[in-house]
Amino acid sequence: MTFEPTREAGLARLAEFVPRAGRAYAAERNTDRGPGDRSNVSTLSPWVRHRLVTEREVVEAVLQRHSLDAAGKFVQEVYWRTYWKGWLELRPSVWARYSASVAPALDSLSAADRATYDDAIAGRTGIEGFDDWARELVELGYLHNHARMWFASIWIFTLRLPWQLGADFFLRHLLDGDPASNTLSWRWVAGLQTVGKTYLATTQNIEFATEGRFSPRGLAESAPAVDDDGPIPAPGPAPRPEPLPRGRVGLLLHEDDLHSESLELAGLEVVAVASPTAGEPRSPAADPANALVAGFTAAALADGRARAGAHFGADASALDRLTASAIRDWASSYDLTAIVTPYGPVGPVRDRLDQLERELSDDLTLTRILRPWDALAWPHATRGFFPFREKIPALLREQQIGP
């Protein structure tokens, strides 16, 4: 299984998967047959995470082939991503608290816990399956959803390590590493997300869902909820689309949305395109050795930049760093009066865009383009996934997706 960081490769994977997205997916998706056979899931997440292929395109392609009844489970899984992103968007302080907690959690490990942590991330705890998933993650940058759940559960309840350090390990190594899906899934396993409800990995379930590949012994038999993160904040307002600027406009791309061809930019004349050469650091405990994620993200940025340049008939520049001075230099060389950029959801890209907006002068505006997919769905992420799920048919109708 390989992940080529281009839109073309993502679309090819989508086309190959579409026939299997109906009832076969619903029946078989929970089985983890190992990295040699991923035919029961889409493995689209690295492309979707960077919007090399958008959620809308994935759902549209699937619903052209299957009814919503047959492909309901798959469509719902794509909407889990949208839900998590909306949930965090309405409660950005949960991300801020998590990011601020990683470095202190690492620093305050006891010597014994530090040794356990080092063993866990190196895949040498002696726990069958867990060690294999740690190595699989580092080598391939992808894990099956169930392996992620088992791994997180064993990390928290058997090894008794801080959930934040496990989330950080995933975020650094997953090609699809996503601030919302990752942080909130780890919180869900730990019992912080649905308060008091935890996920306990059992030998029996692992044996069954790996078709006997793994049968780990000595797993925790109970999963008392973690309680280290204060109350869940009330949801704030969802972002709304901003009016488009006038004048000579530059398009600034970033790693969270690399299909600018489908952004709603009606009437704008984009005279220049730019994107950074590298993604934002994902972790305060940055791991410079993680070449896999860095390489995927950099190549995805280059792919998005080249396509945008061709689409808008504009020069496409690679910026070494996403700093205000680099942006000002780029803007002045094309006489830009305004910059537009895809909306950056809560996470490192958003933090960078906020900083840029503060530092750029008033004569160079930065307008974030929100997609209808997000603008329509995120306001519904106020409660749990089940009330959100009820909205899916209406959300699809509003966007004229499906029959």
- Residues of this chain that interact with ligand FAD (CB under 6 A) are 29, 41-45, 48-49, 77-78, 80-81, 84, 145, 148-149, 152, 170, 174, 176-178, 181-182, 185-186, 189
CB nearer to ligand FAD: give 152 or 336.
152
Contact status, residue 85 vs residue 374, Cβ threshold 8 Å: yes
- The distance of closest approach from Cβ of residue 284 to ligand FAD in the complex, given in angstroms and rounded to an integer, is 17
Distances (CA, A) of 279 to 106, 243, 360: 23, 27, 20
Minimum distance from residue 43 beta carbon to ligand FAD (Å): 4
CB closer to ligand FAD out of 309 and 344 = 344
Smallest distance from the beta carbon of 30 to ligand FAD, in angstroms? 9
The residue count of the chain comes to 403
What are the beta bridge partners of residue 284? none
Cβ at position 152, least distance to ligand FAD in Å: 4
Compute the least distance from the CB of residue 309 to ligand FAD, in Å.
27
Find the helix packing angle between 179-190 and 163-173, rounded to 10°: 150
Nearer to ligand FAD, 1 or 310 (CB): 1
Nearer to ligand FAD, 148 or 380 (CB): 148
By C-alpha distance, which of 62, 56, 29 is closest to 43?
Answer: 29
**Torsion sign (Cα): 216, 222, 225, 227:** negative
User: Residue 163 in contact with residue 329, Cβ under 8 Å?
Assistant: no
164/182 with CB nearer ligand FAD: 182
* Closer CB to ligand FAD, 177 or 304, in the complex: 177
Asked if residues 93 and 182 have their Cβ atoms less than 8 Å apart, the reply is no
Judge whether 273 and 309 are in contact, CB under 8 Å.
yes
Q: How far is the CB of 289 from ligand FAD (least distance, A)?
A: 19
Task: Tell me how far apart the alpha carbons of residues 279 and 301 are, in angstroms, rounded to a whole number.
Answer: 8
C-beta closer to ligand FAD: residue 48 or 376: 48
- Quote the least distance from Cβ 141 to ligand FAD, whole Å: 11
Looking at the DSSP assignment, which residues form a beta bridge with residue 339?
250, 366
C-alpha of 334 from chain center = 33
Positive or negative, the CA dihedral 7, 13, 18, 21 is negative
- Please state the closest distance from residue 3 (CB atom) to ligand FAD, in A: 10
Residue type, 297: T
Residue 290 phi, psi (nearest 5): -80, 70
Handedness of CA 325, 329, 332, 338 (dihedral sign): negative
Nearer to ligand FAD, 42 or 158 (CB): 42
